[in-house]
Amino acid sequence: MEGMTLLVTGGAGFIGSNFVHHLLERYSDIAVIDLDMLTYAVNLANLSDLEADPRHTFVRGDICDRKMVDRLFQEHRPDMVINFAAESHVDRSILEPDVFVRTNVLGAQCLLGAAREHEVERFLQVSTDEVYGSLGPEGLFTEDTPIDPSSPYSASKAGADLLALAYNRTFGSPVLITRCSNNYGPYQFPEKLIPVIIMNCLEGRPIPVYGDGMNVRDWLYVGDHCSAICRVLKRGRPGEVYNVGGNNECTNIDMVRTIIRIMADRLPDAGIDESLISFVADRKGHDRRYAIDASKIASDLGWEPTTSFERGMAETVDWSLENRGWMDSVISKDYLNYYDRNYSQR
C-alpha cells in the first residue's frame, strides 16, 4: 500500500480509527483521507495523536453528500476506498431505524457511484456477520449462507452488500466485501456489550444482560480485523465476499463473568462482583448465535487472527482503566438519554 491514497470513511469511529492507526504505523508513504460525519458515536480524541501527521487528512462530512464526495475524489484521487461509515448499533436501529437506511444504504450507494465514476482500484465495503441472521446450536456462517437479516441495522447492511455486489456485476466495479464478527478493543463506544460491562463495573452500576444471557457471539480483537482488511485490500479478488472471525464463541453471560473477574482482579477494593449482573428483558428479534467459518480468507489469502482472547481482553480492560478520561468524555446528554430509553423499558 506504499505510495497509495486511501479514502477511509468512518475513520473516526471505533474500528475506523483503529484501522487508520494500523495503516499509519505500517506504511510511511501513504495518504489517508478520513471522511467522517462525527456522529454521537465518535470522539475526535480517537485521532488526536494524528493532528500533526501530514499523511492523515481529516474531513468532516456526510457520505450521503454526493457533491462533497465528488469534490473529495477530484481533489485527492484515492486509489482505494474503505467504507466503515455506518450507524452501527442494533439497539438504536430498533428505536430509530430511519437513519440506518439513509447512512448504511444510501451512503454506500453514493460512495459506490463516486468510486465508479472516478475509477478507483478497490472499493472495500466493511460488512458484518449479522447479515446472515441467526444460527442454531450447530453450524457456522460461510460466504454462501443466505442473507437473512433480523434487525433494521443488519437489513441495512445487507442492502449495502447487495448494492456493492450489483455494482461489481453490472459495472465491473472492483468491489470487495468483508463480513466480520463482533469486535472488541480500545475506543469502542460504551453502548456495545463489552464497554458497557467495563463502564458499569467502574461505576458500580447494574450490568444489563438481555434475556437468558445464552446468546452467542464470536469475538475478534479489533487489531485482527484491521489486518484482515489490509489483506483483502492487497490480495482479495474483486466481486468476492470474505468472512472474518475470531474462532472465539462465547455466551454473553460467560463474557460478563469473565470481564467481572478481570476487573475485580485489577481493582480488588472496588466491590466488583457478580452481584452487579442484572437480567433484563430481551432485545427484540435477538439473534441467538453467530459463528464464523473464516476458512476462505485463511486458505485464499493466508489470514488468521493472531491475538488470543486472554491477551486482547486484558489489553482492552487495561486501556479502559488508563483512559478513564476518554470514557468520561463520551458520556454526553445524548448518551444518557439513549441509555435511559434503551434500558428503562426493560
Q: Of 39 and 150, which CB lies nearer to ligand NAD in the complex structure?
A: 39
Cβ 173 to ligand NAD shortest distance, Å: 18
The only residue of 93, 103, 150, 248 in contact with ligand NAD, by rule CB under 6 A: 103
Q: Which entry of ligand DAU, ligand NAD, none binds 290, CB below 5 to 8 A by partner kind?
A: ligand DAU
- C-alpha grid cell, residue 84: 466503515
Under the binding rule (CB under 6 A), the answer on residue 87 touching ligand DAU is no
Q: Which entry of ligand NAD, ligand DAU, none binds 283, CB below 5 to 8 A by partner kind?
A: ligand DAU
The CA-atom distances, in angstroms, between 229 and each of 22, 122, 136 are 11, 12, 28
**CB 255 within 8 Å of CB 196:** no
Q: Which stretch binds ligand NAD (CB under 6 A): 78-86, 161-169, 248-256, 277-285?
A: 78-86
Under the binding rule (CB under 6 A), the answer on residue 128 touching ligand DAU is yes
Under the binding rule (CB under 6 A), the answer on residue 307 touching ligand NAD is no
Cβ 122 to ligand NAD shortest distance, Å: 17
First to last CA, the chain: 48
Q: Which of 129, 218, 224, 240 is catalytic?
A: 129
Instruction: Specify whether 129 is catalytic.
Output: yes
CA distance 282 to 298: 35
For residue 154, the one-letter residue type is S
Per-residue mark of binding to ligand DAU, 267-286 (x: CB under 6 A): ----------------x---
Q: Which of 132, 153, 184, 338 is catalytic?
A: 153
Q: Of 188 and 307, which CB lies nearer to ligand DAU in the complex structure?
A: 188
Strand 241-244 relative to strand 220-221, pairing: unpaired
Q: Which stretch binds ligand NAD (CB under 6 A): 21-29, 34-42, 231-239, 246-254?
A: 34-42
Per-residue mark of binding to ligand DAU, 6-45 (x: CB under 6 A): ----------------------------------------
- C-alpha grid cell, residue 265: 482482579
In order, the DSSP letters of 139-206 are --B-TTSPP---SHHHHHHHHHHHHHHHHHHHH---EEEEEE--EESTT--TTSHHHHHHHHHHHT--
Q: Of 36 and 249, which CB lies nearer to ligand NAD in the complex structure?
A: 36
- Applying CB under 6 A, the site for ligand NAD has a residue count of 30
* Residue ranges in 48-67 that form contacts with ligand NAD under rule CB under 6 A: 62-64
In order, the DSSP letters of 261-297 are HHHHHH-TTS--SGGGEEEEPPPTT---B--B--HHH
Cβ 105 to ligand DAU shortest distance, Å: 15
Strand 80-83 relative to strand 122-128, pairing: parallel
* Residue ranges in 124-183 that form contacts with ligand NAD under rule CB under 6 A: 126, 128, 157, 180, 182-183
CA distance 29 to 40: 32
Those residues with Cβ within 8 angstroms of residue 328's Cβ, 6 or more apart along the chain or in another chain: none
Spell out a b/e string for 183-222, using b for 16 or more CB atoms within 10 Å of the CB, else e. bbbbbbbbbbbbbbbbbbbbeeeebbbbeebebbbbbbbb
Per-residue mark of binding to ligand DAU, 142-181 (x: CB under 6 A): ---------------------------------------x
Q: Which of 222, 245, 345 is nearest to 297 (CA)?
A: 245
Q: Which stretch binds ligand DAU (CB under 6 A): 75-83, 108-116, 203-211, 306-314?
A: 203-211
**CB 314 within 8 Å of CB 63:** no
For 94, the enclosing helix (H) or strand (E) is helix 90-95
Under the binding rule (CB under 6 A), the answer on residue 90 touching ligand DAU is yes
The residues assigned a catalytic role are 129-130, 153
Binding residues vs ligand NAD (CB under 6 A): 9-10, 12-16, 36-39, 41-42, 62-64, 84-88, 103, 107, 126, 128, 157, 180, 182-183, 189
